[in-house]
């Protein structure tokens, strides 16, 4: 008979909270941050109130592990907990935070109070907002039921007194409300089942159990699996990833160097992919997970020595990925490619994988920085405009990295990337595929972003303005209205007046151009034949020719049939994008 590695134990909610407060139950570092929404916490309490099952907890009996986190932000009494939470962190954190009125740290590393309201008259749970906080029908924060130090009789009496001041409450209502509040108070006795894993089970086995159980609920990807291994075998690395991601979300208050940027708020799993791409030249994380566990992919055998060797490779790559100089030098490549901010990034995966290419060129192939910047700018332009890493990103990147596994010099590295770029950006791509890609109304179109990048590269000015597109796309500019706006060349209401009402047809990207918001307001609903001749008078003949080239305006466009205009402008937009890309080569 197969022996089990766990035992079944029943807990009341009050006992669970008591054991957390006393430090008997702790949170191991193999867990993810608190990610539940307040609405999900509300639903948890609603289910418990109705007597529904809400799942079990999985604990690990702890006799040797000391690296633990805590629930909430207050220090616990005991340094080493008796039990560690392996599965059920989100539920238990929610319960603890609400019953004790304690703040928790979110995945963005911010302190947050979870406030759940309860309306006894109809036994309704809601997430507390400003209106609910003022509504006498609600207990605006149910934490006070267990955490105020008052008896349930006194709390009920105070609630009924407030409600009676707002409206008349019948004796029957008072009885029903009192019963509802008593039932809410009694949730502290709600019964949970926990499975306690034996202390004889080691960290790697617990990590495996965690992975398997969570795979049956919220699906974890291979990056989650590897982050789990980091927590067990290299906790400092995971913490560095998390701290880097936190710091990337806000600028420094004292002017010191930080990962903050205008392109991406990275997640730990994204930076992990970059480390794995640099260190192992791999994109398929499934194999890397096995490698980091010390598995020989040929024999299937595991080895502690092999695991340590692979972690050393990962650690070295990790240092380069989190190096602030490398991080910000890479963003210069994006700026060099004409991309100015996250508003022009259609694929974060494309950005991260391009960062891997930058690091391989800089660290492994020792390419001179100016040369590398130009090469990666071209690479990113190609990656973005073709959507190279949007369909099957791991498969495509695995293929790209395979070409670089034996490359150790700058010239060969450049040849490999240039060949891929050349194979992608063919004449057929520019003249056919790109024109077809521009036939879209999607505001997230990579081709449309590339058009703006090309305008930046060409030093183009905003239509009807003396300001450059690149100047008004500066992410540092912030105001009530965007300094640059997408203008319908054929205004929406004008199109509707001539019978074109489909949003997809009206919002074609070929109907958009960039103008300053003041001009957008002035043009309003005028037809092109009305407003364009007035603005065209501002320019000399040569200036007008240049403006029309930049903004891909066909000759006599203002008099064209709308659909003919769209067709002709897509061709011209493709030419502008190509001219922008060729500017990278010229420079």
Percent of the chain scoring above 90 in pLDDT: 61
Indicate yes or no: pTM above 0.85: no
Map residue 487 onto helix, strand or coil. Answer: strand
How does pLDDT run across 293-320, given as a tens digit for each residue?
A: 777 766 777 788 888 898 999 999 999 9
- The sign of the torsion formed by the CA atoms of 237, 242, 245, 250 equals negative
- 211: pLDDT strictly greater than 90: no
Query: What distances in angstroms separate CA 205 from CA 57, 81, 130, one per listed residue?
Result: 17, 19, 47
Q: Yes or no: say if 388 and 374 are a contact pair by the CB < 8 Å rule.
A: no
- Report pLDDT digits (tens) over 498-526: 999 999 999 999 999 887 767 667 877 88
**CA-based nearest residue to 430, from 491, 498, 382, 485:** 382
* Structure confidence at residue 184 (pLDDT): 96
Q: What is the pLDDT of residue 1?
A: 44
- The domain spans of the chain are 6-197, 235-282+314-425, 433-584
- Residue ranges in 167-264 assigned as alpha helix (H): 171-185, 203-216, 222-233, 235-247
Token pair 């520019």 is found at: 430
Helical pair 268-280 and 222-233, crossing angle rounded to 10 deg: 80
Q: Which residue has the tokens 């190509």?
A: 578
Structure-model confidence comparison of residues 52 and 62, the more confident one: 52
Enumerate residues 6+ apart whose C-beta is below 8 A from 437.
445, 446, 447
Does the pLDDT of residue 28 top 60, yes or no? no
User: Can you tell me the distance from the alpha carbon of 513 to that of 452, in angstroms, rounded to the nearest whole number?
Assistant: 9
Mean pLDDT over 139-151 rounds to 93
Cβ atoms within 10 Å, residue 138: 22
Split at pLDDT 50, 70, 90, the class of 78 is very low
Do 89 and 31 touch, CB atoms closer than 8 A? yes
State the average pLDDT over residues 182-201: 90
The backbone region for 409, taken as left when phi is positive above 0, alpha when psi lies in -120 to 50, beta otherwise, is beta
Tens-place pLDDT, residues 530-554: 999 988 888 899 999 999 999 999 9
- Mean per-residue pLDDT, 385-390: 94
pLDDT (average), residues 350-374: 98
Instruction: Assess whether pLDDT exceeds 80 at residue 252.
Output: yes
| DSSP three-state, residue 532 | helix
Q: 30 pLDDT exceeds 50?
A: no
Cα dihedral: 64, 69, 71, 74 (round 10): 110
| Residue 444: pLDDT over 90 | no
Which is more confidently placed, 253 or 300? 253
Residues 284 and 277: their CA atoms lie apart, in Å, by 9
How many residues would you count in the chain? 587
Query: Tell me, what's the pLDDT at 88?
Result: 84
- According to DSSP, the β-strands at 83-87 and 104-105 are unpaired
72 near 102, Cβ under 8 Å? yes
What pLDDT was estimated at residue 220? 47
Closest CA to 347 of 444, 275, 273: 444
Residue owning tokens 């690149």 = 470
- The mean-pLDDT minimum among 198-202, 239-243, 488-492 falls in 198-202
- The strand ranges marked E within 88-218 are 104-105, 111-112, 116-119, 124-127, 191-197
Residue-wise pLDDT tens digits, 157-176? 999 999 999 999 999 999 99
In whole angstroms, what is the distance from residue 99 CA to residue 122 CA? 21
- pLDDT of 120: 96
Of 486 and 372, more confident: 372
Q: Radius of gyration of the chain from Cα atoms?
A: 30
Lowest-confidence range among 89-98, 231-240, 325-334, 487-496? 231-240
For helices 562-586 and 369-386, the axis angle rounded to 10 degrees is: 160
């Amino acid at each position: 008979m197969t022996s089990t590695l766990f035992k079944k134990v029943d807990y009341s909610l009050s006992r669970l909270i008591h054991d957390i407060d006393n430090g008997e139950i702790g949170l191991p570092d193999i867990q993810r941050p608190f990610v539940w929404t307040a609405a999900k916490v509300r639903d948890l309490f609603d289910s418990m109130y109705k007597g529904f099952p809400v799942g079990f907890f999985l604990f690990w009996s702890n006799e040797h592990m000391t690296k633990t986190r805590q629930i909430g932000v207050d220090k616990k009494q005991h340094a080493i907990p008796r039990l560690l939470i392996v599965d059920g962190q989100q539920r238990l954190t929610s319960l603890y935070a609400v019953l004790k009125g304690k703040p928790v740290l979110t995945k963005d590393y911010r302190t947050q109070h979870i406030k759940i309201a309860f309306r006894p008259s109809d036994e309704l749970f809601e997430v507390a907002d400003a209106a609910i906080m003022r509504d006498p029908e609600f207990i605006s924060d149910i934490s006070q039921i267990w955490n105020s130090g008052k008896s349930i009789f006194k709390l009920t009496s105070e609630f009924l007194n407030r409600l009676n001041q707002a409206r008349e409450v019948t004796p029957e209502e008072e009885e029903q409300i009192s019963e509802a509040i008593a039932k809410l108070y009694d949730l502290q006795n709600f019964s949970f089942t926990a499975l306690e894993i034996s202390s004889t089970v080691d960290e790697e086995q617990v990590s495996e159990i965690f992975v398997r159980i969570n795979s049956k609920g919220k699906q974890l990807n291979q990056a989650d699996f590897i982050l789990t291994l980091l927590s067990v075998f290299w906790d400092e690395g995971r913490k560095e990833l998390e701290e880097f991601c936190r710091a990337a979300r806000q600028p420094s208050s004292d002017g010191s160097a930080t990962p903050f940027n205008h392109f991406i708020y990275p997640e730990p799993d994204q930076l992990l992919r970059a480390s794995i791409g640099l260190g192992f030249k791999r994109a398929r994380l499934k194999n890397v997970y096995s490698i980091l566990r010390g598995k020989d992919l040929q024999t299937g055998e595991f080895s502690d020595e092999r695991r340590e060797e692979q972690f050393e490779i990962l650690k070295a790559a990790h240092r380069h990925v989190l190096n602030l100089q490398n991080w910000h030098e890479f963003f210069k490549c994006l700026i060099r490619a004409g991309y100015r901010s996250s508003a022009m990034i259609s694929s974060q995966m494309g950005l991260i994988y391009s960062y891997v290419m930058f690091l391989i060129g800089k660290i492994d192939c020792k390419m001179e920085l100016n040369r590398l910047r130009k090469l990666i700018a071209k690479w990113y332009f190609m990656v973005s405009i073709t959507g190279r890493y949007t369909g099957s990103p791991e498969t495509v990147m695995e293929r790209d990295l395979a070409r670089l596994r034996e490359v150790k010099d700058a010239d060969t590295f450049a040849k490999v990337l240039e060949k891929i770029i050349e194979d992608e950006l063919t004449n057929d791509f520019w003249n056919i595929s790109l024109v077809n890609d521009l036939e879209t109304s999607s505001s997230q179109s990579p081709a449309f972003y590339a058009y703006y990048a090309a305008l930046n590269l060409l030093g183009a000015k905003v239509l009807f303005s003396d300001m450059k597109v690149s100047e008004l796309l500066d992410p540092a500019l912030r105001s009530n209205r965007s300094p640059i706006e997408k203008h319908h060349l054929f205004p929406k209401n004008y199109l509707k007046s001539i019978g074109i009402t489909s949003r997809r047809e009206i919002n074609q990207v070929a109907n958009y151009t960039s103008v300053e918001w003041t001009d957008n307001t002035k043009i309003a609903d005028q037809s092109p034949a009305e407003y364009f001749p007035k603005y065209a008078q501002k320019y000399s003949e040569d200036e007008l020719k240049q403006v029309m080239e930049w903004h891909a305006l066909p000759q006599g466009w203002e008099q064209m049939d709308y659909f003919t205009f769209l067709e002709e402008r897509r061709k011209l937009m493709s030419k502008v994008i190509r001219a922008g890309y060729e500017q990278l080569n010229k420079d």
